[in-house]
Amino acid sequence: MKKEIEAIIFMSDKSVPIDDLADFFNEDIEKIKDILKEIKEEKKDTGINLQIKNNLVSFMTNPLCGEAINKFFSPTVRVKKLSKSAMETLAIIAFKGPITKSEIEDIKGVSVDSSVMQLMEKKLIMSNERKKAIGNPKLYEVTENFYAYVGLEDKEELMNLDKAKWFMALDEIEGNENENK
């Protein structure tokens, strides 16, 4: 069953709900979680990692391979230089996400339409959910591409960074671009 679970996750174009795996294999969710933990442990020192987040699983590249991936796929995967406004918006989404566009605008005091569009195009943020509020606004959060690019594994690791290191990570995005031009 373990190899079948790996194959399903690998073939899926989006994160796979753990509940769906348990239902499909007619297994207890705890058994599926144990298998996923085994897979994650086996993959931790490879170029591909298993991410388990919010009861969803997906494969992602190992953040330690980010530089090689960016160089190999350059310029198609490379993130182009971001405007100051987009960098500020990205920082807000990274630390406060999932967050709505209007909540970001409340923090910044200006419209963020173009910044959000730029970050979506660069695949640094995504919107897969909607807030349960009037109008059901989209919720934005950073993507796995963002974490891989700045060399972090997840939001928990981001939250453990001090602000100086965070801004150094953002500068790294911009710095890599200037070097590769």
How does pLDDT run across 8-29, given as a tens digit for each residue?
Answer: 999 887 889 999 999 999 999 9
Confidence at residue 93, expressed as pLDDT on a 0 to 100 scale: 92
pLDDT at position 158: 76
Which residue stretches of the chain have pLDDT < 70? Answer: 73-80, 149, 162-181
Gap between the Cα atoms of 106 and 109, Å rounded: 5
pLDDT computed for residue 140 by the predictor:
95
Q: Where are the alpha helices (DSSP H) in 44-162?
A: 66-73, 84-96, 101-108, 113-121, 144-149, 155-160
Q: Tell me, what's the pLDDT at 177?
A: 44
First to last CA, the chain: 46
Query: What per-residue confidence (pLDDT) applies to 77?
Result: 44
- pTM of the entire structure? 0.51
All structural domains of the chain, each given as residue ranges with its CATH number in brackets, are: 2-61 (1.10.10.10), 67-179 (1.10.10.10)
The dihedral through the CA atoms of 145, 150, 153, 158 has a sign that is: negative
Q: Check residue 145 and give its pLDDT.
A: 82
Gap between the Cα atoms of 72 and 51, Å rounded: 23
C-alpha angle 153/138/11, rounded to 5°? 50
Angstrom distance (rounded) from CA 140 to CA 146: 13
- CA–CA dist 139, 107 (Å, integer): 15
Residue 80 is given by DSSP the state P
